[in-house]
Structures are given as structure tokens and as C-alpha cells.
Amino acid sequence: MESSEIDAIIKRYGAKESAILAILQDVQAKEKYLPKEALEYLGEKLHIPLNKIYRIATFYRAFSLKPRGRHEICVCMGTACHVRGAQRIADQMNLQLGIRPGETTEDQNFTLETVYCLGVCAAGPVVAIDGQYFGKMSPGKVEGTLKKFRSDKKEGLNGKA
Ligand code: FES
């Protein structure tokens, strides 16, 4: 991330310590993670000790210090999905992608996460990819669903078929 891009974000919220959370959110939204160099630059510009910025960055689950994949997969492990076989979906994701929750594939295409309710329990088990929901999932549907994102075609409960 160019320093000029960070400067533009700082300008939006003001070069003050109280703006750090909003600034980090914008950096995260742009880069999909918080690069070390960006945090160091922010520390200098806003006169905030680096360890304080890291404390904030690690406190909020929305922030990541590691690069994220282009596509974010959330397998719901909430009760309603769990009783309908969410674990088998998570296992199949693991098998197909070779990563566990919290990890990103080597080609940076996918990051796998688990969540505890996506709010559409009746459609369980549910998987969300980039915010698009796929309901009534089964291990057999995992490969086909991932394929849509491997070729960047999008389809889901709340998307167009
Ligand atoms: S428990 Fe999975 S959507 Fe609610």
C-alpha cells in the first residue's frame, strides 16, 4: 500500500489518535489485511506507539495481520447448522482447499473461517462466500460451490443464478 493512499485515509478522518480505528478499518478494507509497513507508517504519522496499534489490531476480530484470500469463506458452525452436518461441510472444505479455519490457501484465493450463526438457520447448513449465502449445503456440493469462485462466477441465495 502506497504511503499516499494511507495519507488519503488519514486525511479523511484527521491525523489524531482517536481516528485510528476508522483508519485501520479502511486499510483493512483496501488490503484485506493490515500490512506491517502500513502500521509502522500510521504509528509515525499519528504519533502512536507501534505496540499500541498492534494491541488494537489484534483485539478486533475484523482485523487480520496476515494476508487474506481474494474470497472469504465462512462455514456456519452454529447449533442449527451443526445438527444438520456443518462439521462435514467444514471437513470437506478442509479437504478441497487444504487449509483449516483461520488459514489462507497458498494461491491467496481463499480464506476459510467458521462463524456461529449467519442468521439464516432454516437454510442450514449454510456457507457464506464473500457475503453470498449457500444454503442446504452437503459435502457433495462443496466442490461445485468453490468452483464458482475459482472461475470468479458468483451465485448464491442472495445473488443471481
Ligand atoms: S446456525 Fe447456521 S445460520 Fe444460524
* pLDDT per position as a tens digit, 24-54: 999 999 998 999 999 999 999 999 999 999 9
**Backbone φ and ψ of 73, nearest 5°:** -105, 130
Residue whose Cα lies nearest atom 3 of ligand 1: it is 121
Query: Does the C-beta of 157 come closer than 6 Å to ligand 1?
Result: no
| CA atoms of 145 and 158, how far apart (whole Å) | 14
Residue 151 has pLDDT above 70, yes or no: no
pLDDT class for 132, splitting at 50, 70, 90?
Answer: very high
pLDDT class for 62, splitting at 50, 70, 90?
Answer: confident
Which of 93-100's residues contact partners 24+ apart within 8 Å by CB, and which partners?
Answer: 93/127, 93/142, 93/146, 96/142, 96/143, 96/146, 97/146
In eight-state DSSP terms, residue 106 is: T
pLDDT class for 153, splitting at 50, 70, 90?
Answer: very low
Overall average pLDDT of the 60-89 stretch: 93
86 CA closest ligand 1 atom index: 2
Instruction: Work out the number of other CB atoms within 10 angstroms of the CB of residue 128.
Output: 22
Residue 57 has pLDDT above 90, yes or no: yes
79 CA closest ligand 1 atom index: 1
Query: Does the C-beta of 115 come closer than 6 Å to ligand 1?
Result: no
Average pLDDT value for the chain: 91
Query: According to the model, what pLDDT value does residue 160 have?
Result: 42
Query: According to the model, what pLDDT value does residue 100 have?
Result: 94
Q: Which of 118, 127, 158 to mutate to test the pocket of ligand 1 (most atoms within 8 A of CB)?
A: 118
Q: Which residues pair with 71 in a beta bridge?
A: 110
125 CA closest ligand 1 atom index: 2
Q: Which of 88, 114, 121, 127 to mutate to test the pocket of ligand 1 (most atoms within 8 A of CB)?
A: 121
